[in-house]
Structure 1
């Protein structure tokens, strides 16, 4: 690792805004704790945010930085994102690191620059969520829909082609590694993202309510959870903001509290006190269920994608289980899972959940990520002409 310290690094991410606070941003933050890298992104509105760890930092951006309303979501300029990321001039760096869920991996590099991509997911708009995107978007229907389909077709081609610019892929889960192979035919090492386990208060004694914490957007399926609890009549607390907030407030019955956005201390309190955390989204990793387990709170989750790797299902793990997985994203499946949980609630040990969450501690990420860079660089150097 001593040789690597002397090298010059660039770290490329998609976008940096106050609204982008998910798992991919936590990976960027963790990498910067251990590697002295210059940071680049399509847009940056974090370096001017006094509350951000990036406040005052010099961050390289693209022409999209100056486009109208980019701050509120650069995704509206999706067709231009590949072109924009290719305009970043990174020739001065020895090693390019990317944290990518859309186009960051597509930066241009030379043969003597090693590019390691930490991939959170292949571009969802172009692959898995194409038909959801077309169905929910105003530009997915009629004549505009034909143009949108063509744009997505072009994006798929660019996305697959740009994968060849990466020397080494790291996936955030086995599930993502499978998707990388399917989309790009590239193998990826699996290094789970860091979860700030120490931030979350452990509490063994639970109160009589369920909780879900999420951005309130369609693919997170929060409205499905609310509809299930409308039928169950059990107390549920919903925390988060997003496009579906008003819809969820409208359909929620009196047994459901919709709190909207809340600061970390409030989120932590509800996570630690809840009898269980409910999660119905398909995620490539999904950091929220691990955060709940860090509080000693068992998880009731959709058993697909990342949760198969982060939640230990009662039927498979018995006394060391940390939750219950359900097989379908339906109201009835959620209802059955909640009823199953209540039947076996006393068998879940909060200490088991906390212990399992520790396996995703940032120290593990640091050790595995830096070791991977060291090994990859030695291999890369040996293969240079």
Structure 2
């Protein structure tokens, strides 16, 4: 078996899913465009055979690997996957574009079609601040990338989407069907029975699309309510200048501090349009209701009126109205948004559920092939083995 991942530079959300893949398939070989992680510090990578592309050896690849994106389609197509019976690609960019052995089963776990190449092209170019000839060149490169992205999607046997929101994007851009298996969230490490305190919490990397500016602006209009923000990133200085006296920015904090705040916050506030969104699930696991933008993954993970409030518009005024409605509901019914219900809802996205759902689908696809069964190595990857 082969597992293909876009790149290994940080250990973040997609890599937590990769960790589950590596746990399910301990003998699988791993392919990735670049790997700059220290295997000694990451248990899931220890003793693992990791194949990298020629981009690994190019100048400045460690810090500026993204600049080599135009070369990555050719790089992943150079991986020699002859003889592998099952190929599982973990892809939000190029990993799905490998050229499989025709007798192999290729399953792509898709986080999203490349946003910067498809529907968010213009936003990314504006944020990059490019103009003139450079902007025209980048648009041409993205056009070529889109053509390759669509063509390479046709080489995948089965798509798995991380949410129904992404399932629709796969259908729109790739014209392919996908089944949904939600990403794994470590819901067991949270307590949901701690007393709630009178502050709201927001947490994420401080980058523009997370819309922390909108949250801070909304709480500036509600000076009687306290907001705590955890996270760091390029937006931090601007947010500090924008924040009123009722807003506290703590910067980057260790997991223990974040968990502590999630377990004590009155509610968690989240206004990004996410493909799935792990933090809103973690907040519910900690017993905190979620007040968030009701588009994207959050519309699937937060139950409006039971474990949180969906905000209809990505606007500060709409968020203020949602917070008012949330507090009015709690004033009228102190048992509204109970921590036990929030925690139970979060467990739908637990790691055990993910493993069982993935195993069921892989087992079904490997047991049926219209041109005959896969070779013996593939047929041995049963659902029971996946779960062991």
TM-score (normalizing by structure 2): 0.91
Q: Deviations over 1:124-176 (max 9, x none)?
A: 1111211110111133x222111111111111111000001100001111111
Matched, 1:326 2:326: no
* Distance apart, 1:384 and its partner CA: 6.7
Q: Helix, strand or coil: the match of 1:253?
A: coil
Please tell me whether the aligned partners of residues 118 and 171 of structure 1 are also in contact (alpha carbons under 8 angstroms): yes
Matched, 1:358 2:347: yes
Whole-Å separation in 2 of the counterparts to 1:229 and 1:69: 42
Q: How does 1:91-106 map to 2 (within 5 A)?
A: 91-106=82-97
Please tell me whether the aligned partners of residues 47 and 58 of structure 1 are also in contact (alpha carbons under 8 angstroms): no
Please tell me whether the aligned partners of residues 112 and 384 of structure 1 are also in contact (alpha carbons under 8 angstroms): no
Aligned to 2:216: 226
User: Which of 112, 124, 128 is residue 133 of structure 1 equivalent to?
Assistant: 124
Whole-Å separation in 2 of the counterparts to 1:231 and 1:72: 40
Matched, 1:271 2:271: no
Q: Helix, strand or coil: the match of 1:301?
A: strand
Whole-Å separation in 2 of the counterparts to 1:110 and 1:59: 19
User: Which of 369, 374, 381 is residue 358 of structure 2 equivalent to?
Assistant: 369
Q: How does 1:173-192 map to 2 (within 5 A)?
A: 173-192=163-182
Aligned to 1:203: 193
Matched, 1:378 2:378: no
Structure 1: tracts of 5 or more residues without a match: 1-8, 315-320
Q: 1:383 to 1:309 in 2, by over 3 A?
A: farther
Q: How does 1:13-28 map to 2 (within 5 A)?
A: 13-18=5-10, 20-22=11-13, 24-28=14-18
Q: 1:47 to 1:59 in 2, by over 3 A?
A: farther
Task: Judge which range, 267-276 or 222-231, deviates more.
Answer: 222-231
TM-score (normalizing by structure 1): 0.91
> CA RMSD for the aligned pairs?
1.7
Aligned to 1:165: 155
Aligned to 1:290: 281
Q: Deviations over 1:151-209 (max 9, x none)?
A: 11111111000001100001111111111011111100111111100022223421111
Whole-Å separation in 2 of the counterparts to 1:287 and 1:73: 27
Aligned to 1:41: 32
Residues paired across the two proteins, number? 368
Whole-Å separation in 1 of the counterparts to 2:370 and 2:25: 20
Aligned to 1:6: none
Whole-Å separation in 1 of the counterparts to 2:176 and 2:158: 9
Whole-Å separation in 1 of the counterparts to 2:49 and 2:239: 39
Structure 2: tracts of 5 or more residues without a match: 375-388
* Distance apart, 1:250 and its partner CA: 2.4
